[in-house]
Amino acid sequence: MRPRVVYVLLALMLLTSQTYGSKPNIVLIMADDLGYGDVGCYGTPQAKTPHIDLLAREGVRFTQHYANGPECSPTRTAFLTGKYQQFAGGLECAIGTGNVGRYDDAIRLANQHDLGLPAVQTVLPKLLTQQGYGSAVFGKWHLGYEPKFNPKAHGWDQFFGYLGGNVHYFNHRETSDLHVLFADDLPVYRDGYMTDLITEASVNFIQKTKDPFLLFISHESPHFPFQGPSDRTKSVTRENWMEVDQDTYVAMIESLDSSVGEIVRAIDQTGQRDNTVVIFVSDNGGFANAANMGPLRGTKSMTFEGGIRVPLIINWPAKIKPGQISDQVCITFDLTKSILNLAEAKNQPKHLDGYDIVSHVIEQRPDIPRTLFWRGKRGERVWKAVRHGDQKLVIKTGEPDQIKSIYDLSTDPAEKNDLTTAKPKLTLQLMNLLQSWESSLKARR
């Protein structure tokens, strides 16, 4: 072989080695209101989800992953800040359509034109930008309507999507008829099904952005209004916005699955699949009478398992052994901590609440017990919970049907057997843990 050819081959090998060893691209796909049992690899007998199932077969599927909140805005707040959403102020409940606060603190902030996530509190994408990452968020924002809360103010390089919690899938307006579709910080008008538009923007970003990058694909599906990709002419009004149609719901999930397939193909075509971490997750449990929660009790807005335990799949061909199932208890802000570590982000705040779940899987560490907390307010109603090891306390106050129940999730994940009477000492222990956590919460505004 001629010396020049050898030199070229060695140079190519070195370049390949440098690329393979570089910081990974990170793609987080967040479904909206997806129930624990709504995709094939989590047990649904209805929707066909081959692309999501393939991610699980070629990566790791988690059985005990939790959303930080039982609703949309709280979980998104925890994801971007890496901390319990209560520290942000006003975001324990989903922001109401048209920028409405739904409990006392949120109402106060809305009256001050300050309801949303302050950019100063976020760690994503700012700390990744410092490490040379490009960034984009496409789809649902739901962290504030005011211009100061726009994703661009948080440091995202690109944004396309809607500011509120849900829109008509074809005209992209809220029930209030408010236009909330934006590209960066400017309103835009686009033709197409919302899932398809989010996918198109994501694929375009993947194709055009130099490595490394952080891409947050924040889908609307399968959140109401219940409209499948062929339902352009279906009449959807304020009066029937939340009416459930099971066939349509399945079509929405299958459309979401097709989107996942397009995203992965786009990554494949860049030649960066091995060094791209793909995370698929939901923001909270499923909507009542629509979603499949599998064996779990409860739905969205509740702190029973069905309201907060959600699918999580992490796929990284270069590092994660395929075909794994993890029973490690984890929660949304664990993904934040993992992403920061993957990017080797410097200047991380000292008191982030998460645990590096990606390293846990890669290093095949033994599972560890966790103590996790939830609190969600809406009006006078408050749902709370604490999970300590396998023991869980659920509390609901502010309504006539108040709840205080204890469950052993190791034997009773369906939360059928209340142990408060049989285990008064455990009840007191969990109550004290929850009260201590609540007393530590001091919102920053």
The reply to whether 235 falls in a domain is yes
What is the pLDDT, as a whole number, of residue 227?
97
Domain with 423 in it: what CATH number? 3.30.1120.10
Q: What residues contact 102, with CB distance under 8 A and at least 6 apart? A: 93, 94, 95, 96, 377, 378, 379
Domain around 28: 24-370
The reply to whether 14 falls in a domain is no
Residue 427 sits in the same domain as residue 315: no
- On the 0-12 / 13-18 / 19+ scale of CB atoms within 10 A, 8 is exposed
Average pLDDT over residues 128-134: 97
Q: How confident is the model at residue 443 (pLDDT cuts 50, 70, 90)?
A: confident
The reply to whether 180 falls in a domain is yes
Q: How confident is the model at residue 1 (pLDDT cuts 50, 70, 90)?
A: very low
Q: How confident is the model at residue 18 (pLDDT cuts 50, 70, 90)?
A: very low
Residue 418 sits in the same domain as residue 331: no
Residue 347 sits in the same domain as residue 268: yes
> At residue 35, what is the residue type?
G
Residue 115 sits in the same domain as residue 218: yes
Instruction: Give the helix/strand (H/E) hosting 392.
Output: strand 391-397
The reply to whether 11 falls in a domain is no
Average pLDDT over residues 325-337: 98
The reply to whether 321 falls in a domain is yes
Residue 328 sits in the same domain as residue 379: no
> How many domains, the chain?
2
Average pLDDT over residues 318-346: 97
> By the 8 A CB rule, do 354 and 372 touch?
no
The reply to whether 9 falls in a domain is no
Quick check: helix, strand or coil at residue 421? coil
Examine the fold and report which residue of 338, 370, 402 is the final residue of a domain before the chain moves on. 370
Residue 355 sits in the same domain as residue 378: no
Q: How confident is the model at residue 22 (pLDDT cuts 50, 70, 90)?
A: confident
Q: What is the DSSP string of 13-78?
A: HHHHHHHHTSPPEEEEEEESS--TTSSGGGT-SS---HHHHHHHHTSEEESSEE-SSSSHHHHHHH
Domain with 314 in it: what CATH number? 3.40.720.10
The reply to whether 7 falls in a domain is no
C-alpha span between 259 and 353 (Å, rounded): 31
* CA torsion angle 221 225 230 234 (round to 10): 180
> By the 8 A CB rule, do 277 and 263 touch?
no
Residue 431 sits in the same domain as residue 323: no
The reply to whether 150 falls in a domain is yes
Examine the fold and report which residue of 313, 337, 370 is the final residue of a domain before the chain moves on. 370
Q: Per residue in 249-295, pLDDT tens?
A: 999 999 999 999 999 999 999 999 999 999 999 999 999 999 999 99
What is the pLDDT, as a whole number, of residue 20?
33
Q: Per residue in 347-360, pLDDT tens?
A: 999 899 999 999 99
Strands 186-187 and 181-183: antiparallel
Residue 329 sits in the same domain as residue 384: no
> At residue 80, what is the residue type?
L
Residue 307 sits in the same domain as residue 400: no
Residue 119 sits in the same domain as residue 106: yes
**6 or 120, higher pLDDT:** 120
Examine the fold and report which residue of 370, 400, 415 is the final residue of a domain before the chain moves on. 370
The CA-CA-CA angle for residues 59, 65, 69, to 5°, reads 135
List, edge to edge, every strand of the sheet that includes 403-408: 371-378, 381-388, 391-397, 403-408
Residue 321 sits in the same domain as residue 379: no
What is the pLDDT, as a whole number, of residue 43?
96
What is the pLDDT, as a whole number, of residue 11?
37
What is the pLDDT, as a whole number, of residue 2?
46
Q: What is the DSSP string of 129-186?
A: HTTT-EEEEEEE--SBSSGGGSGGGGT-SEEEEESSS---TTT-B-TT--B-EEETTE
Quick check: helix, strand or coil at residue 216? strand
C-alpha span between 145 and 142 (Å, rounded): 8
Residue 114 sits in the same domain as residue 257: yes
| Stated pTM of the model | 0.94
What is the pLDDT, as a whole number, of residue 7?
36
